[in-house]
Amino acid sequence: MEEHGAAKCLLVASRNVGKVAEIRQLLADYAVKVIGLNDLSDSAAPAEPHDTFADNARHKALQLAERTGLAALADDSGLQVDALGGRPGVYSSRYGSDDRQRIDKLLAELADVPDERRGACFVCVIAIACQGQVVGLWEGECKGVILREPRGNAGFGYDPIFYYPSLGRTFAEISTEQKNGVSHRGRALQAMLEALRGGELLGHPLR
Ligand code: IMP
């Protein structure tokens, strides 16, 4: 891992400022400087060429680590809908040209699906790569139900139609903090933190 100033540097494979800030906050107790793609002169995002979340996360982390010489963290996530055989899955971000279109397409496909068969699962896989090697892979899942119309204005993506039964709200009706506590991404990040605490990064401890 390269030194960046006094601290070791972890590059998050994202231009999403919110996502980078969330990971930076989670790693606040570690001697790691967390940066995102926007902090690089070459901010190109790596491709997602595979058909599983794990393969895409691995690919992105390895490619960025190689390109920059830094330790790189990449995630891949999406929504698996039971009645659609797991679609849109890894293609969630490419299911339409914007969030509204993606939601409308999904709701149209589920129009005739009864309430008891509208189960869905958000999935997130996080990989860290360093010096040509994937040094950790963590997965988080979150199960819910797809509503018949959007509810709430918070969050992003499919949040307004993803109803989380134990909170009685959609992901677009709860705070970011509440969402992080139960979401697929929050759970994958927590699993990663536990591994870091246990020093399980195959000889590449981050502190
Ligand atoms: P990625 O950037 O390839 O991981 O794309 C993930 C896509 O899955 C996003 O563009 C959203 O459409 C969807 N997605 C993943 N996580 C969430 C979430 O927490 N809420 C809503 N949609 C999500």
Domain boundaries, the chain: 9-206
Q: Is 92 in the pocket of ligand 1 (CB under 6 A)?
A: yes
Mean pLDDT to the nearest integer, 41-48: 91
Q: Is the CB of 80 under 6 A from ligand 1?
A: no
pLDDT band at 207 (very low <50, low <70, confident <90, very high): very low
9-206 carries CATH number 1.10.1200.10: no
Is residue 173 within 6 Å of ligand 1 at its C-beta?
no
Ligand 1 center–CA 78 separation, angstroms = 5
Ligand 1 centroid from CA 159, angstroms: 9
- Axis-axis angle for helices 184-197, 17-26 (nearest 10): 40
Encode pLDDT of 90-137 as tens digits: 999 999 999 999 999 999 999 999 999 999 999 999 999 998 999 999
Tell whether the model's pLDDT for residue 206 goes beyond 60: no
Residue 22 CB neighbours (<10 A): 19
- Structure confidence by residue, pLDDT tens digits, 137-157: 999 999 999 999 999 999 899
Two tokens, residue 92? 């969630």
End-to-end CA distance of the chain: 11
Atom index in ligand 1 nearest the CA of residue 14 equals: 2
Between residues 18 and 66, the one the model is more confident about: 66
Structure tokens at 126: 């996080």
Mean pLDDT confidence for 70-81: 96
Question: What is the pTM assigned to this prediction?
Answer: 0.90
Q: Is 76 a catalytic site residue? A: yes
Average pLDDT, the chain: 90
Contacts of residue 121, Cβ cutoff 8 Å, sequence gap at least 6: 79, 80, 82, 141, 142, 143, 144, 184
| Residue in 51, 75, 76, 82 annotated catalytic | 76
